[in-house]
Structure 1
Amino acid sequence: MRKSDYTGRVTKWETRLGAYDVKYMPQIAIKGQVLADFVAEFTEGGIKQEDVMLAVMSIGTENVLLWEVYTDGASNQNGVGIGIVLITPENLVMEKSLRLGFVATNNEAEYKALLAGAQMVRHLGGEMVEFYCDSRLIVGQVNGEFEARDERMKKNLNRVKGVLGMFKSFKVRQIPRGQNAHADSLVMLATSLGSKLP
């Protein structure tokens, strides 16, 4: 089941059960409450339950809500393709392979992959994300270590930064190409058989 379907169902049932004064509590809240009760019971010195619960919830949020996105893009004689591997906080793996319907450089394809990956996470409701890309140049430009001089690159960089700015937190990390083989294989699929973006 896709996360968007799950969220819709939860919202529907929460609305129906709300009339009976029944409230939906996500699993993280229940786990957090159990841990807070445990800590409060076995801690000397009278720590307030609210303080313990806030600490537990903030720790749980950091661990549970992180999305990971591996992106790659390439241009060759067969066309321009991008590959995206998205890993949800529940460790569900989603793959996307797209063949772009326009001419682009390798660097532009890398930006398009990063942008598409960010938009996928936003669409699915993710708020904290780490992106992994094997292009040192793209990661350096996004992180402000390198300057984008070409106008097309500046435009792509600004679009990516605009979407990334919508997340509560994000990191963009450069990884060796060997650690990005999954996304790379999707790019090869896209340039040989993939579907075109409209």
Structure 2
Amino acid sequence: MALAEFTFRYVPQLAVKGQALADFLAAHPCVEIEDMDYFLVNTLSLFPWRLYFDGSRTSNMGEAGIIIESPQGFRTGYSFQLDFDYSNNQAEYEALIIGLEIVRELRINNVVILGDSMLVLKQLFGDYKVTSQALLGYHALASQMIEDLDEVTLTHLTREHNSQANAMAQLALGV
């Protein structure tokens, strides 16, 4: 009888208070990473992203196609209509520059750039000189954007192996 006044009664908790969560985390510390940005950059830099680009020109317009592939293999395609009178090589440079702008916006610093334009890639490698006045600005901009990245690999593909970027460029024609 003396203990009857001390009965247990269950009362469900309606919400977790923020202070309770903070107290729990303070009582159960985990290993802290000092410089999270350094950790993420160095971990992700082991697995480069891939940028496929292709540009083309028809009688009335230019097209640019871009494929961005994540380290996990997920691909995103982009198609662009170029509304100026471009040469085929200018369209290739435009596609590359647009792809590099997307890479910059995504804050990707380790990328493999793949394209089927031998001229553009050889000029970026430094194997060919840029003799066309029309390409000088494109080359300078693309070179600067590539220099701003941490790790870059330039790779030439055959047209057959760059078919998805080519399909994205051709898709712009139908838009």
Contact 1:132 1:174 in 2 (8 A): yes
Greater fraction helix: 1
Identity %: 23
- SS of the aligned residue for 1:73 comes to strand
Show CA shifts across 1:64-87 (max 9, x none).
3x1101100001124100000000
Could you tell me which residue of structure 2 aligns to residue 9 of structure 1?
A: none
Quick one: distance in 2 between partners of 1:24 and 1:113?
Answer: 44
* CA deviation after TM superposition for structure 1 residue 179, in Å: 0.1
Quick one: distance in 2 between partners of 1:67 and 1:151?
Answer: 32
Residues 61, 154 of structure 1: CA spacing in aligned structure 2 closer, same or farther, 3 A cutoff?
same
* CA deviation after TM superposition for structure 1 residue 151, in Å: 1.3
Could you tell me which residue of structure 1 aligns to residue 46 of structure 2?
A: 63
Could you tell me which residue of structure 1 aligns to residue 15 of structure 2?
A: none
Quick one: distance in 1 between partners of 2:110 and 2:32?
Answer: 21
- Alignment pair present for 1:75 and 2:57: yes
Gaps of at least 5 residues in structure 1 are 1-16, 30-53, 194-198
Could you tell me which residue of structure 1 aligns to residue 17 of structure 2?
A: none
Could you tell me which residue of structure 1 aligns to residue 169 of structure 2?
A: 187
Alignment size in residue pairs: 145
Q: What residue identity is the alignment partner of 1:72?
A: D
Greater Cα radius of gyration, structure 1 or 2: 2
**TM-score for the superposition, normalised by structure 1:** 0.67
- SS of the aligned residue for 1:155 comes to helix
- Alignment pair present for 1:119 and 2:101: yes
Show CA shifts across 1:23-55 (max 9, x none).
8989xx9xxxxxxxxxxxxxxxxxxxxxxxx9x
Superposition map of 1:1-198 within 5 A: 60-64=43-47, 66-193=48-175
* CA deviation after TM superposition for structure 1 residue 173, in Å: 1.2
Quick one: distance in 2 between partners of 1:166 and 1:173?
Answer: 18
Show CA shifts across 1:83-118 (max 9, x none).
000001232211100001111000000000111111
- SS of the aligned residue for 1:63 comes to coil
- SS of the aligned residue for 2:46 comes to helix
Gaps of at least 5 residues in structure 2 are 1-21
Residues 76, 168 of structure 1: CA spacing in aligned structure 2 closer, same or farther, 3 A cutoff?
same
Q: What residue identity is the alignment partner of 1:159?
A: L
- SS of the aligned residue for 1:190 comes to helix
Quick one: distance in 2 between partners of 1:154 and 1:140?
Answer: 14
Q: What residue identity is the alignment partner of 1:173?
A: T
Quick one: distance in 2 between partners of 1:117 and 1:24?
Answer: 38
For the aligned residue pairs, the C-alpha RMSD in angstroms reads 2.6
Quick one: distance in 2 between partners of 1:25 and 1:97?
Answer: 43
Q: What residue identity is the alignment partner of 2:164?
A: H
